[in-house]
Protein backbone atom coordinates (compact mmCIF):
# COMPACT_ATOMS: atom_id res chain seq x y z
CA UNK A 1 0.00 0.00 0.00
CA UNK A 2 2.84 2.37 0.88
CA UNK A 3 4.48 1.76 -2.52
CA UNK A 4 1.20 2.49 -4.30
CA UNK A 5 0.85 5.83 -2.51
CA UNK A 6 4.47 6.74 -3.30
CA UNK A 7 3.96 5.89 -6.98
CA UNK A 8 0.78 7.95 -7.08
CA UNK A 9 2.47 10.96 -5.50
CA UNK A 10 5.46 10.70 -7.82
CA UNK A 11 3.15 10.43 -10.83
CA UNK A 12 1.15 13.49 -9.81
CA UNK A 13 4.28 15.54 -9.19
CA UNK A 14 5.72 14.46 -12.54
CA UNK A 15 2.54 15.35 -14.41
CA UNK A 16 2.39 18.72 -12.71
CA UNK A 17 5.97 19.51 -13.65
CA UNK A 18 5.38 18.43 -17.24
CA UNK A 19 2.29 20.62 -17.49
CA UNK A 20 4.18 23.62 -16.17
CA UNK A 21 7.08 23.03 -18.52
CA UNK A 22 4.81 22.89 -21.54
CA UNK A 23 2.89 26.11 -20.92
CA UNK A 24 5.60 28.70 -21.74
CA UNK A 25 6.55 26.84 -24.90
CA UNK A 26 3.00 27.11 -26.25
CA UNK A 27 2.95 30.80 -25.41
CA UNK A 28 6.33 31.35 -27.05
CA UNK A 29 5.19 29.42 -30.12
CA UNK A 30 2.15 31.66 -30.46
CA UNK A 31 4.28 34.79 -30.06
CA UNK A 32 6.70 33.51 -32.70
CA UNK A 33 3.86 32.72 -35.11
CA UNK A 34 2.30 36.17 -34.60
CA UNK A 35 5.62 37.95 -35.07
CA UNK A 36 6.26 36.05 -38.29
CA UNK A 37 2.79 36.80 -39.63
CA UNK A 38 3.16 40.54 -39.04
CA UNK A 39 6.68 40.66 -40.45
CA UNK A 40 5.73 38.73 -43.60
CA UNK A 41 2.77 41.06 -44.19
CA UNK A 42 5.05 44.07 -43.83
CA UNK A 43 7.62 42.47 -46.13
CA UNK A 44 4.97 41.79 -48.79
CA UNK A 45 3.73 45.37 -48.51
CA UNK A 46 7.27 46.71 -48.87
CA UNK A 47 7.73 44.53 -51.94
CA UNK A 48 4.49 45.78 -53.48
CA UNK A 49 5.60 49.36 -52.87
CA UNK A 50 8.84 48.78 -54.77
CA UNK A 51 11.31 48.47 -51.92
CA UNK A 52 12.36 44.92 -52.81
CA UNK A 53 15.65 46.06 -54.29
CA UNK A 54 17.02 47.68 -51.16
CA UNK A 55 19.73 46.21 -48.99
CA UNK A 56 17.53 46.53 -45.90
CA UNK A 57 14.77 44.53 -47.62
CA UNK A 58 17.27 41.77 -48.36
CA UNK A 59 18.46 41.77 -44.73
CA UNK A 60 14.83 41.53 -43.57
CA UNK A 61 14.10 38.61 -45.89
CA UNK A 62 17.19 36.79 -44.61
CA UNK A 63 16.19 37.38 -41.00
CA UNK A 64 12.70 36.06 -41.70
CA UNK A 65 14.20 32.93 -43.21
CA UNK A 66 16.26 32.53 -40.03
CA UNK A 67 13.16 33.13 -37.89
CA UNK A 68 11.22 30.49 -39.81
CA UNK A 69 14.10 28.07 -39.26
CA UNK A 70 14.09 28.92 -35.54
CA UNK A 71 10.37 28.19 -35.47
CA UNK A 72 10.91 24.84 -37.14
CA UNK A 73 13.47 23.86 -34.50
CA UNK A 74 11.26 25.22 -31.69
CA UNK A 75 13.69 27.99 -30.79
CA UNK A 76 10.86 30.45 -30.27
CA UNK A 77 12.76 33.21 -28.48
CA UNK A 78 15.26 33.41 -31.34
CA UNK A 79 12.35 33.34 -33.79
CA UNK A 80 10.73 36.38 -32.19
CA UNK A 81 14.09 38.18 -31.99
CA UNK A 82 14.80 37.61 -35.70
CA UNK A 83 11.26 38.55 -36.74
CA UNK A 84 11.51 41.82 -34.79
CA UNK A 85 14.90 42.58 -36.35
CA UNK A 86 13.37 41.91 -39.76
CA UNK A 87 10.57 44.37 -39.04
CA UNK A 88 13.19 47.00 -38.21
CA UNK A 89 14.93 46.47 -41.55
CA UNK A 90 11.60 46.51 -43.39
CA UNK A 91 10.85 49.89 -41.85
CA UNK A 92 14.33 51.10 -42.78
CA UNK A 93 13.87 49.92 -46.38
CA UNK A 94 10.79 52.13 -46.67
CA UNK A 95 12.78 55.16 -45.51
CA UNK A 96 15.14 54.84 -48.42
Q: 24-35 pLDDT, tens per residue?
A: 678 899 999 999
Look at the chain and report how many structural domains it folds into. 1
Q: Is the dihedral of CA 95, 86, 61, 42 positive or negative?
A: negative
Q: Tell me the C-alpha distance between 57 and 8, whole Å.
A: 56
Question: Domain range holding 38?
Answer: 27-94
Backbone φ and ψ for 53, nearest 5 degrees, come out as -85, -5
Domain-located, residue 43: yes
Domain-located, residue 57: yes
State pLDDT tens for residues 54-88: 899 999 999 999 999 999 999 999 999 999 999 99
Rounded to two decimals, the pTM is: 0.73
Amino acid sequence: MKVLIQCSVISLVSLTLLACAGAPKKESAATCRAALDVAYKELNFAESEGFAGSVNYTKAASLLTAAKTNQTFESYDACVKNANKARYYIAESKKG
